Amino acid sequence: MKGLTAKQEKFIDEYLKTPDDKSGSAKRAGFSHPEVTANKLLRTDKIIKAIKEKQSRISEAEGVTADWLAKYYKAIIETPITNICDWDKVSGLSTRPSSQIDQMSAFAIKEASEGRSREGEDRKVFLKMESKLEAMSALRSMLGIDAPKRQEVKATTETYNMTGTNEEIANSLIGTLESLITKSDYTGENFGVTSSGSTENRKAN
């Protein structure tokens, strides 16, 4: 990529493979201080731009779109265990032959292996399923469900004037602040203290 060093290009390749392990990506790219370097690189405009461009090329070449990902996560979440296994009182639990598992249900299988039963007699197929909770979390994040919403806040000011000795003013100020803190927990108000010793209560309209 134009304008990038070999290490930076390697970091981008590694980061796209494991975006949840940015420090590991920097380490595999050969940087001496991976955690610090990864944070710095991911705040650099040319690195951010290069990552987005490569993501776009991969998405276009492989046909991986938001719709495709949504279907993948949805398949994991909605696939019932009965699409993968059969069981009854006589023969117990058994996995279905692969020819009987449809493609969407197969997305819910993370790993398949073969081994012997504890008695060492029968060969068994062991399946590890994808996590439905992790798929739900990924889908919710992708769709922005439950994401914090930005709210516009307009502020007005109320001033509380206090007179008396320094100790009386201090005690009164503490009481007023405690009252405002308690009130803000329920009303969402913000407050501050002016340099003159009075408090300002800023109400959100």
Kindly give the confidence (pLDDT) of every residue in the chain, 205 residues in length, as a single tens digit, with 9 standing for 90 and above: 678 999 999 999 998 888 888 999 999 999 999 999 999 999 999 999 999 998 888 888 878 788 888 888 989 999 888 888 888 877 777 888 888 888 888 888 888 887 766 666 667 778 888 898 888 888 888 777 776 666 555 555 555 565 667 777 677 777 766 666 555 444 444 444 444 444 444 444 4
Sheet with 190-193: list strands edge to edge. 155-160, 199-204, 190-193
Amino acid 26 reads: A
132-146 exposure pattern, b = at least 16 Cβ within 10 A, e = fewer: eeebeebbeeeeeee
Angle at 77 between CA 54 and CA 67, to 5 degrees: 35
- Rounded Cα distance between 145 and 156, Å, is 32
